[in-house]
Amino acid sequence: MFRIKICGVTNSADAQAAIAAGADALGLNFYRASKRFVSPSDAKKITEIVPTQVSKVGVFVNHSVSEIHSAAADSGLSYIQLHGDEPPELMSQLPTSIKIIRAFRCGAEGLAPLASYLERCDANGRMPDAVLIDADAVGDFGGTGRAADWNAITRDRKLIGAIPLILAGGLTPSNIASAIEAVRPDGVDVASGVESQPGRKDHALVNEFIAAARKAFNDI
């Protein structure tokens, strides 16, 4: 399980900068409506330079099973991240050789809806390997820069058992230490918080974020 993921990588220069800074994982967004969309061909060019010790995460939003299979095979993905309205039944149709991250937007009901979703996953024969908790931004599928509700996540963590939790949503170099101290996640995910503009990483911010996150994880 990775600890620090730089998501929304759209080019090889940003990928190389994140790797050099010590990122454990890179996220490639295959959702066409996203400002950080990468085509399958561009994603393949990026993943070809990623060393084996760095996880390659493909972000999908309501894609078909065949589209996910194709992108995962072409890019050699380590993880499939489902970030849309995918039903639990879809997981059993995905490659068993690739781990699954299920993203969830934490709203007023906290993590109770996610707990119910995981029960359905279990009943259907395949659980995600981790969950990613993002801010509840109605109509958006992540990357908004809005912070997730750390208090609700901490309060309801017990509802989802021992499944690894990745914290996302509004994380920046200045708040990542506080976020890790408050939530104590297994991993963290950042996109907009280390960008100069959507889809373009600020390499100095990437370095600052990873260094601060690494220190915070070591401290706890």
Residue type, 123: A
Which tokens belong to 63?
Answer: 């894609």
Active site residues per annotation: 7, 134
- Measured CA to CA, the distance from residue 75 to residue 98 in angstroms comes to 12
Within a 10 A sphere around the Cβ of 194, how many other Cβ atoms? 27
Which tokens belong to 13?
Answer: 């220069």
Which tokens belong to 58?
Answer: 């493909």
**Exposure of 75 by Cβ count < 10 A (0-12 exposed, 13-18 middle, 19+ buried)?**
buried
- Measured CA to CA, the distance from residue 31 to residue 27 in angstroms comes to 12
- Measured CA to CA, the distance from residue 187 to residue 88 in angstroms comes to 23
The b-or-e profile of 142-163 (16+ CB within 10 A means b, else e) is bbbbebbbbebbeebbeebeeb
Quick check: 93 and 69 in contact, CB under 8 A? no
